Amino acid sequence: MIAALSQKGWALLALAPHFAVLVAVATGTAWCQTGPEGQAKPGTQKAGTQNASAKVTDQVPLTKIKPLIAELDELFVKGDIKAYLGKFTPDHEGTLSMLGRHLEMLLKISGKDRARTSAIVAGPMPFEDRTVVRIRHFTSWPGKLDATTNQPGADRKHVEDTYLAVRHGADGGVVPTLELDMPPQIHCVTDSKFRCPPCNYEIGGVDGFLCVPMRRERGLALESASFYLIGTDVVCDVYVQVPSKNITAKAVALQLAEAFAKLEPTAKIGIPSKWVPPMHRQDPPQGLDSARLVVELPLDHEAAGGDVSIFHVVAFGGVQHLLLLRTSKASLTRHQTAVDRLLMSYMLLKVDCNGAELATRPLRQHTGGMIEGSTYKNERFQVLLKGPDGWQTQHRVGGSMFRVRWSGPNASNMWLIGNQVPAGMTAWSKETADRWLNHRRNHFGLVADKEQTASAEAKWHKDPNGSICRTLVLLQPKASRPDQPRRRIVHVQLHDDLLLVVDGFGSTPADEQAVRAAIRTLKRK
C-alpha cells in the first residue's frame, strides 16, 4: 500500500507542472526578498514561530535528537534501508515510501565504501508535540580507479539537507515521524511565508505548516514547494509555471485529474467548479480565471474514508497557479480550519498590471534568459544560441534551469536546455554528464549511431570556443508514433556549474543541417 501511495501521490507532483503555476521557492534562494539587481536574499524559517501553541514540555531536546541522527547515519552506511525506515512511525506513509526510494538511489550512487556524517544546522522548531530540525548530510565515497595510473581518484561527495520531525516515545525515547529532503542552497523566508514579486504571489506564514522547498528536477516547475501540516497527513503542493498556450483554469484542472486517473483507475473525478481565492473573493481582479476540482481515492486509507486530492488552479496575466491539496477525508475534516487558513494566505500582489509583463517577469527572473527573434540570450549564465532562421521560438518550463524550443517546418524541432549541477554535487564532470546522457537515452529508447560513435565529434573534445563538448547521433529503432523522429542530434557542452544540451531533429537533410548550424553558434563566456 505504501508503494502504491507513493506512486499516486508523487505522480501528481509530476503531472501538475505540465499545466499549471503557483507558489514555492526559487532556484538557489527565495525570491521573496529581492536585493540589488533582482538578486534574492536568503530567508529563514524561524524556530519558535511555527506553532504558537506548542509547549516546551512537548518538545524533544537536541541532546536526544543527535543520537537518533547518528543511528540513522550508521544504518545508511550499512545499506540497511529497511531498518532505517523501521525507526519511523510515519505521519505520512507516502512520504516515508519516497524517502526509501531516495535513500536507495543514494546507495546506488555511493557504492559499498560510503561514509555519512550529519549535523543539525537549524532548529529546533516546535509544532505542538512535534519537534523539527534541519539536518545537513555529508556522504562521501572513493573515486574510481584511474585507468592510466591505477590510482583511486578523488573522493566523491554528496551534500543535502533534510527536515526531520520527531516526537517523544511512550518509552521515553525519540520517535521520528517525517523526513523530507531539500536542496541545501534553498532557504525559506521568515515564518514560512513566500513572497515572489516576479511571480506575483504570496502564500504561507500559517501556524502549524512547514514549508519544504522542492528540487526543480522533482517539481518540474518554474518554482515549487510543499506545505506540510506537521503531525498530520495533510500536504499542499504549490507550483508556478508559465504555459506555452492559453488554457482555462477548468480545463487545466480536468486535464490534471484525467491524467492522474490513468495512473489510478479507482479515482473518482468530480466536476470542475468556480473557485476564487478567498483573499480576492470580494473584488476579483479583471482577467482572473480560477477553478477547483476534487479527485477521490476511495480504496486508499479506507478506514479514514479514503484519500482525496483537491486541485485549485489560478490563471492570471499569462501565469497559472496550482495549489494541490493531498490528504485523507478524515484528516481534511479534522484540519479543515488550518487548510482554509493556508488557502486564505494566498494572494496576488498586483492585480492591475499588463498581462504580457506578468508572464515575462518570472521567466526572466528565474531563468535569466530572453528571446530576440530566433536568438536566445541568457545574461545570468552568459549563454547565446542563434536558432535556425524562421523557426518559431518559445520558452518552456521544466526541471532544468532554462529550456527553449525552436519549432521548424515539417515538424522539425530543437531544444536548448541548461541543467544545473545535480542536487548534492559540487560540479558537473564528464562521468556525471555521460551518466545523464545514458539515462536520457535509455528513457526514450534511443541507441547510438554506430558509425558516428567513432568520430571525433562524438568523443569529448574542445570546440573552437574552448568549451568541452561532444555531439552524438541517436537513432530511434522502435518508434511509437508515425511522426516520431528516427534520428536526433544531441550536443552536450560541459561546464562546472552548467550542462548545456542542444537536442534536435530535422524532417529533411536541410532541416538537420539547420540544427547543426545552430549548434555551432552555442557560446558561453
Q: Do domains 1-45+187-353 and 46-186 have the same CATH topology?
A: no
pLDDT digits (tens, 9 = 90+) for 465-494: 888 999 999 988 876 666 677 889 999 999
Mean pLDDT confidence for 274-291: 93
* pLDDT above 50 for 48: no
Q: Give 145's DSSP letter.
A: B
* pLDDT above 60 for 47: no
pLDDT computed for residue 471 by the predictor: 93
* pLDDT above 70 for 17: no
* pLDDT above 50 for 4: no
* pLDDT above 90 for 40: no
pLDDT computed for residue 507 by the predictor: 86
Mean pLDDT for the chain overall: 82
pLDDT computed for residue 86 by the predictor: 96
* pLDDT above 70 for 220: no
* pLDDT above 90 for 352: no
* pLDDT above 70 for 41: no
pLDDT digits (tens, 9 = 90+) for 249-273: 999 999 888 888 888 888 899 999 9
pLDDT computed for residue 449 by the predictor: 87
* pLDDT above 60 for 30: no
pLDDT computed for residue 43 by the predictor: 44
Query: What is the C-alpha separation between 89 and 218, in angstroms, rounded?
Result: 25
CB 244 within 8 A of CB 396: yes
Query: What is the C-alpha separation between 61 and 70, in angstroms, rounded?
Result: 15
Pairing of strands 383-386, 375-378: antiparallel
Q: Which CATH number fits domain 368-524: 3.40.1000.10, 3.90.1280.10, 3.40.50.300, 3.90.1300.10?
A: 3.40.1000.10
Apex CA 363: angle with CA 358 and CA 366, to 5°? 120
pLDDT digits (tens, 9 = 90+) for 186-214: 544 556 777 778 788 889 999 999 988 77
By percentage, how much of the chain surpasses pLDDT 90?
A: 43
CATH (residue range 46-186): 3.10.450.50
* pLDDT above 90 for 460: yes
Query: What is the C-alpha separation between 58 and 51, in angstroms, rounded?
Result: 12
Please tell me the class of the 1-45+187-353 domain.
alpha beta
SS3 of 211-258: EEECCHHHHCCCEEEEEEECCCCCEEEEEEECCCCCCCHHHHHHHHHH
Strand (E) or helix (H) holding 202: strand 201-204
pLDDT digits (tens, 9 = 90+) for 302-332: 787 889 999 999 988 888 889 999 999 999 9
pTM, to two decimals = 0.76
Mean pLDDT confidence for 100-112: 90
pLDDT computed for residue 9 by the predictor: 46
Mean pLDDT confidence for 2-14: 38
Residue 136 — pLDDT band, cuts 50, 70, 90? very high
Residue 80 — pLDDT band, cuts 50, 70, 90? very high
* pLDDT above 70 for 508: yes
Query: What residues form DSSP beta bridges with 30?
Result: none
Mean pLDDT confidence for 148-163: 79
Mean pLDDT confidence for 110-124: 92
Least confident residue range of 344-358, 372-386, 466-480? 344-358
What is the distance between the terminal CA atoms of the chain, rounded to a whole angstrom?
Answer: 51
In the chain, where the domains are located: 1-45+187-353, 46-186, 368-524
Residue with cell 482572473: 288
